[in-house]
Amino acid sequence: MGVGKQNLTVQLDSETVRRAEVIAAERGRSMSALVSQLIEELTAAHERYERSREAALRTMADVGQHASELDPASTPAVARPRV
């Protein structure tokens, strides 16, 4: 997705770095590649969540808008608000 690469400096405790190095080695990746992949996956998941959230909010708004047009007598009891 990127236009170019940019360096990122992070500080982690030494035990976390050691464990991450083991994971990177097991996956045959460098630490940089491992961290890059995880951040890319995180940002992609966040973008999917935001799109889904926006779609759900639009759907709820549409349903709310059309709910006022319904005849309460034709609405199932489980959908009718208690008064």
Residue 7 parent element (H or E): none
CA atoms of 70 and 79, how far apart (whole Å): 11
Q: Give the tens place of pLDDT for each residue, 12-33.
A: 999 999 999 999 999 999 999 9
Between 73 and 34, whose confidence is greater? 34
Considering only CA atoms, which of 14, 46, 47, 20 is closest in space to residue 33? 20
Q: Does pTM surpass 0.85?
A: no
